[in-house]
Structure 1
Amino acid sequence: MTDWILNTFCIVVIPIALILCGLFMWKSCPKKINGLIGYRTTRSMMNQDTWTFANMYCGQLWWKMGWCMLIGAVIIQTITYSFNQKLFNIISPIIMVLEFVLMFYSISMTEKALKEHFTENGRRK
C-alpha cells in the first residue's frame, strides 16, 4: 500500500504543478517581461505582445494537459495496482517519464504557435 501512495504522489505532482502554473500563466500572466516568472524564451521575451501571447498560450496548454495527465494517471494507477502490483511498479516510472516528455513537448508547441503568429522581429503576422 505504501508503494501505491508514494508512486501515486510522485505521478500526480507533475500534473498538479502544470494545472496550477498553467492557471497562473493563463489567467494572471506576468504583466512585465522578466527573468524569473513566466514562459521565458528568446522568442517570447521579444516584446510585450509575444510575452503575453506565449504565457497565455502555454498556460492554457499546461492547464489542459495537467488535467488530462492527472485523470489518466490516477485511473491507470488504480487499475494496474488492483490487478498486478508488479505491473504497477513497472508502469509508474513510465507514466512519470511520459509526463516529463509531454511537459517539454508543450514548449515546442508554444514556440511553434509563436512562429505562426509572429514574425522573426516579434511583430504580429
Structure 2
Amino acid sequence: MNGKNKDTWEFAHKYCGKVWYVCGMVMLPITVIFMLLVIGKNEDCVGSMGGIICGVQLIPLIGSIFPTEIALKKNFDKNGTRR
C-alpha cells in the first residue's frame, strides 16, 4: 500500500468510526426501550424483536458508506492526494 492509499484508508476508517459511534449512541436508547418491551415474553417474541432491531441497525451502518465517500471526495483528489 503506497502512502496515498494509506492516507485515504486511515481517513476513511477514522471518519466512518465517528459516524458509527454517533449511530450507536442514537440507537442504544432506542434498542434498550424496545428490548424492555419484551421482558418476560416468550423466546420467539424476544428473538423476533432482537432480529428486527439488528436488521434496522444495519441500515445506518451500511448507509455510513455514503457520507464517508463524500468526505473522501472533499478531502482527497482522484489520485488520493490530500486537498
Q: Verify same fold: TM over 0.5.
A: yes
The number of aligned residues is 80
Q: Which residue of 1 aligns with 2:28?
A: 70
Ranges of 4+ aligned residues in structure 1 off by more than 4 Å: 84-91
One-letter amino acid of the structure 2 residue matched with residue 69 of structure 1: M
One-letter amino acid of the structure 2 residue matched with residue 100 of structure 1: L
CA distance in structure 2 between the partners assigned to 1:110 and 1:95 by the alignment: 24
Work out whether 1:53 is the aligned partner of 2:11.
yes
Work out whether 1:81 is the aligned partner of 2:38.
yes
CA distance in structure 2 between the partners assigned to 1:60 and 1:68 by the alignment: 13
Task: State, as a whole percentage, how many aligned pairs show the same letter.
Answer: 35
Q: Which has the higher contact order (CA 8 A, sep 6+)?
A: 2
Tell me the TM-score normalised to structure 2 length: 0.70
Deviation at 1:108, TM superposition (A): 2.1
Deviation at 1:102, TM superposition (A): 1.4
One-letter amino acid of the structure 2 residue matched with residue 59 of structure 1: G
Equivalent runs, 1:1-125 vs 2, <5 Å: 46-78=4-36, 80-81=37-38, 91-125=49-83
Q: Is the 8 A contact 2:4 2:81 kept in 1?
A: no
Deviation at 1:107, TM superposition (A): 1.8
CA distance in structure 2 between the partners assigned to 1:81 and 1:113 by the alignment: 39
